[in-house]
């Protein structure tokens, strides 16, 4: 069995590798990675755009494999929050015909970060860097914003695995 992770981001690749170990039908799969386009903006700003980005990545990576996994993080509008938005990760698993979608839990960023993203068009990594929450300009390829905000209690890899596990529910239980 062959799985392609639609990202060269090692956090995403490792999240897929670790998540599938709990599934007998996937545990022995060979994992490859590619960097297909998401065909959405660099920082998705809606649930539809985030899910579409994951689906596009998965479909664009699907070549001579059993499954491709697309992972995309973005913002969703959430009323009654301080900023009006939360960040969520979507995983789309594509089998050549069907998509299997899952989402992670969601979190709210500090107001200064959210303003930079929505008013100045920077992405989450740049916003965290610009406001001084990190010295790492490639935050999304390492611990992630979620790790900074939770003081290491939840890493980007574990957060990403949530979305993968939720997408695998549909794949494992499809009738």
Q: Do residues 115 and 84 lie in contact, with contact meaning Cβ atoms separated by under 8 Å?
A: no
> Taking the mean position of all CA atoms in its chain, how far away is CA 78?
18
Where is pLDDT greater, at 150 or 174?
A: 150
The pLDDT tens digits for 54-104 are: 999 999 999 999 999 999 999 999 999 999 999 999 999 999 999 999 999
On whether the pTM is more than 0.85, the answer is yes
Q: Do β-strands 67-77 and 85-94 pair in parallel, antiparallel, or remain unpaired?
A: antiparallel
**In the prediction, which pLDDT does 10 show?**
94
The domain tally of the chain equals: 1
Q: Do residues 106 and 74 lie in contact, with contact meaning Cβ atoms separated by under 8 Å?
A: no
CATH of the domain at 151: 3.90.950.10
Q: Is the pLDDT of residue 169 over 60?
A: yes
Domain span holding position 93: 2-172
Which residues face 3 on adjacent strands?
A: 31, 67
């Amino acid at each position: 069995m062959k799985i392609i992770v639609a990202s060269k981001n090692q956090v995403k690749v490792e999240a897929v590798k670790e998540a599938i170990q709990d599934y007998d039908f996937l545990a022995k799969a060979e994992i490859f990675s590619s960097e297909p386009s998401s065909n959405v903006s660099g920082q998705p700003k809606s649930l539809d755009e985030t899910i579409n980005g994951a689906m596009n990545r998965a479909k664009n990576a699907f070549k001579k494999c059993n499954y491709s996994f697309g992972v995309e993080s973005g913002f969703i509008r959430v009323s009654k929050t301080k900023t009006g938005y939360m960040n969520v990760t979507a995983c789309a698993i594509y089998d050549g015909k069907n998509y299997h979608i899952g989402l992670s839990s969601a979190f709210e960023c500090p107001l200064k970060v959210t303003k930079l993203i929505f008013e100045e068009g920077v992405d989450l990594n740049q916003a965290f860097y610009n406001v001084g929450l990190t010295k790492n300009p490639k935050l999304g390829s390492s611990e992630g914003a979620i790790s900074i905000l939770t003081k290491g209690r939840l890493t980007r890899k574990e957060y990403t695995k949530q979305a993968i596990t939720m997408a695998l529910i549909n794949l494992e239980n499809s009738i």
